[in-house]
Amino acid sequence: MLGLNTQKELGAVARRGLVIGYCRVSSSGQKADLERQAEVVANYCEKQRYQFRIIKDIGSGMNYKKKGLQELLRLVCEGGCSKIVVNYKD
């Protein structure tokens, strides 16, 4: 995902840790928006030179059992991510 050129850059990424981009829409009819969100978040992460991973979910914001959200929470609780990037905070 990143085009790192030097050992110094690799070390900086390792110290910062994994960044998770979390993208969600409410329904499958919004898949195009989900892909657009993922692209915007990925572009931002690349510009920031983050080592990142995108997690996508389809489902209500009130549903806390979404697969992607559960994975995100697990990573946070296990110390597996240093930052979360979202396109919309709702």
Task: Determine whether 26 is an active site residue.
Answer: yes
d(CA 63, CA 8): 42
Q: What angle do CA 60, 90, 68 make, to 5 degrees?
A: 50
Q: What angle do CA 48, 50, 51 make, to 5 degrees?
A: 160
d(CA 59, CA 87): 16
Point out the residues that are catalytic: 26
